[in-house]
């Protein structure tokens, strides 16, 4: 999975969340100048949640990835 694909998924989820939040807030009677910034903040929060999740995943799995890369590099060096 390429990073551009992940970025598009993150953006799509953030957009859907913003549209839903804006629709819901306008439905309960908020004026547009109040629900529009709130919907934008919801989109940013959803996007940052994805980024934080990615960071946590990388932080928790760094050691196994690093060990595997070390093994591959040693094996490649031994073959030469």
For residue 3, the model assigns a pLDDT of 67
Q: Where are the domains of the chain?
A: 3-79
Residues 65/68/70/73 CA torsion (nearest 10 deg): -120
Q: How many CB atoms lie within 10 A of CB 2?
A: 7
Which ranges of the chain have pLDDT less than 70? 1-3
Segments of the chain assigned E as strands:
none
For residue 63, the model assigns a pLDDT of 87
For residue 34, the model assigns a pLDDT of 95
Contact 26, 13 (CB under 8 A): no
For residue 43, the model assigns a pLDDT of 96
């Amino acid at each position: 999975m390429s990073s551009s694909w992940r970025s598009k998924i993150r953006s799509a989820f953030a957009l859907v969340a913003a549209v839903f939040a804006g629709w819901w807030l306008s439905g309960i009677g908020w004026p547009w100048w109040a629900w529009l910034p709130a919907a934008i903040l919801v989109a940013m929060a959803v996007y940052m949640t994805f980024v934080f999740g990615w960071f946590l995943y990388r932080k928790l799995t760094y050691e196994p990835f690093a060990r595997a890369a070390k093994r591959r590099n040693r094996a490649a060096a031994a073959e030469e």
